[in-house]
Amino acid sequence: MKEKNIIINDLKLAYFETGTEKKPKLLCIHGWLDNAASFFKMMPFLQEHFHIFLLELPGHGHSEHLGKSSHYHLLDSITWIEDFRRKLNLDQINFCCHSLGGVLAGLYAASFPENVNFLFSIEALGPISAPEKMAPESLRKYTKLYLSQKQKERKKHPSIDSCIAARIRDGGVSREDAALIVDRGVLENKQGYQWTFDRKLQLSSPLRMTEKQVQSFLAAIECPYHLVVADTGISILQNVLSERSKLVKNLKIHSMTGGHHVHMEKPEELCHILLDVFPF
């Protein structure tokens, strides 16, 4: 795999390119506070079938952070995907995305249906929603946390093992899988080791979509949508799955045994599903 950089919306973003050039193009986007390494274990099963791009979102992995006075808004991510598509001449996108990446792929597919051929989403069916009445409190909470966070120093870890242990606690992943994410997600300095993701990513959203808004995006998706649901995955997905799944025109749900990072736990099994359903 080749690690490369690209300028997207004036930010230098990292991505990997691998696979077979004349095969269908597959764009992989990772989850929240993960990085491109979360897809590495899938690559041996996909490289001969696809021309693959693993994009690291701003503030994650080796990609640049937004400016100090800038904020991460979910909808801004759609401009990053569209700019990436244009600069790499990806006429028709085939998505393979996890969690936050799957949310973004769905929003993009709804907004630009003519640009999306296929969507394979691991543990994601639309963003988290909130009732309208919660909007003032959400903005208040975000503002207070943002200003409070700026006054705090970033936590230092004494060793890589400490970083791995922290990732296991936070994400419910195995030691092997945590080590992959840590390898692209920490930096050593004189004080020890620290995570490189932008701390602003840890803040709650200042304003969420309402459930009706989320549903309008899901209903606008035209391409085949294959959703992988893990039996011990995130409860947020389980809570909305029944209602939201009725809205997507071409939805097929695939159940797997595993956790939220099932693509790291069982990469071969998951890739078999992807290869079976992809419209080659």
Which tens digits make up the pLDDT trace of 248-279?
999 999 999 999 999 999 999 999 999 999 99
Nearest CA to 111 out of 220, 219, 223 is that of 220
Q: What is the pLDDT of residues 117-146, one digit of tens each?
A: 999 999 999 999 999 999 999 999 999 999
- Distance from C-alpha of 270 to C-alpha of 233, rounded to nearest angstrom: 14
Query: How confident is the model at residue 172, as a pLDDT?
Result: 79
pLDDT at residue 151 above 80?
A: no
Q: Report the 10 Å Cβ neighbour count for 145.
A: 15
Pick the CATH number of 2-129+209-277 from 3.40.50.1820, 3.90.700.10, 3.20.20.20, 3.40.50.2300: 3.40.50.1820
Residue 199: pLDDT band (50, 70, 90) is very high
Average pLDDT of the chain is 96
Residues 6+ apart with CB under 8 A from 85: 27, 93, 115
Domain positions in the chain are 2-129+209-277
Tell me the average pLDDT across 6-26: 97
Residue 37: pLDDT band (50, 70, 90) is very high
Query: How confident is the model at residue 170, as a pLDDT?
Result: 84
Percent of the chain scoring above 70 in pLDDT: 100
Q: Which helix or strand (DSSP H or E) is residue 121 part of? A: strand 116-122
pLDDT at residue 171 above 80?
A: no
Q: What is the pLDDT of residues 46-104, one digit of tens each?
A: 999 999 999 999 999 999 999 988 999 999 999 999 999 999 999 999 999 999 999 99
Nearest CA to 236 out of 5, 31, 46, 30 is that of 31
Residue 152: pLDDT band (50, 70, 90) is confident
Query: How confident is the model at residue 145, as a pLDDT?
Result: 94
DSSP 148-174: HHTTSPPP-BSSHHHHHHHHHHHH---
Tell me the average pLDDT across 171-189: 94
Task: Please give the torsion angle defined by the CA atoms of residues 106, 110, 116 and 119, in that order, rounded to the nearest 10 degrees.
Answer: 30
